Structure 1
Amino acid sequence: MSTDTLIADRIEIADLFTRFALLLDEGRWDDAGTVFADDVAVHSPRGGELRGLGKVVEFMRQSEVEGQRAQHTTTDLLVDLDGDQADASANSLVHYYRDGRAPHFTGGLRLASTVVRTPAGWRLREVRITPVWTRAEA
């Protein structure tokens, strides 16, 4: 694989993680197929194990809290490419807030993912979300 292709793939995977964060922040559940593969598996303490795009979207819709918003910041992305698949991991800081107010809850997460190249571009096939710490604001 050429250096140009490796660089392009890494940029596209970094963009994928940003699109994932924005999807969560903006609640654009109908756009989930631009981030997740159809056969996605998501593992998290809140949702347990969810398999399939439909189940993931259903969980995200049901998890919405009236008036609460979130801001996800993804950092420290590591990508290990292997052809049309890659292992990728990152840290995520999540701030939960209400419009015009400071965050009332903040958490640090570790994301471990398998991403795959599809005809539509790179997509998350598996995501493991591990909370590292939380802080309720006073």
Structure 2
Amino acid sequence: MPATADRVEITELFARLGHLLDDRRWDDAGEVFAEDIVGRSPRGEINGLTDMRAFLHRTEPNGELSQHIATDIVVDFTGDDAATGTANSTVHYFREGEAPHRTAGLRMTCEVARTGSGWRFREYGITLLWLQGE
């Protein structure tokens, strides 16, 4: 059975993803995603880290900032080097100095794998649960 440290690292992976997205550090996507990442969202499917970086650059909202908050994270180990995870996420979209004009409720599901660089998302899915605002 993986150590408690593994559970903490996987849980932190959700937070690190939120910070990466909020800070718009698209080129650092390899810090949270595996090379062979498969991503699914309402916007389509992404295959591979290169495509993930290109997708993040392409879909960057102009003049809009975000704050991702992941909660209710559950991690289930499927092996010593593999796990699944789910989390709820609230994402606030705003313009600098203004209150949010749009908020989304998401459900995130993932498969994670231990890599030479630590735990990384190998499959990552987002389901939009609700949307409030413009």
Report the TM-score when normalising by structure 2: 0.96
| Corresponding position of 1:119 | 116
Residue aligning to 1:110: 107
Counterpart pick for 1:80 among 59, 68, 76: 76
What percent of counterpart residues are identical? 50
Structure-2 separation of matches of 1:6 and 1:115: 15
Matches within 5 A, 1:88-107: 88-107=85-104
CA–CA separation in structure 1 for the residues paired with 2:105 and 2:42: 13
Say whether residues 1:54 and 2:56 are aligned partners.
no
Structure 2 alignment gaps of length 5 or more: none
Q: CA deviation at 1:66?
A: 1.5
* 1:45-104 per-position Cα deviation (integer Å, ceiling 9, x unaligned): 11x111000111101101112210000000000000121000000000000000000001
Deviation at 1:6, TM superposition (A): 2.3
For 1:65, the equivalent position in structure 2 comes to 61
Separation in structure 2 between the aligned mates of residue 43 and residue 31 of structure 1, nearest angstrom: 19
> Alpha carbon RMSD of aligned pairs, Å?
0.9
Alignment of 1:2-21 (within 5 A): 5-21=2-18
Structure 2: how far apart are the matches of 1:89 and 1:103?
Answer: 25
- Amino acid in the other structure paired with 1:134: L
CA distance in 1, matches of 2:27, 2:52: 11
CA drift of 1:15 comes to 1.2
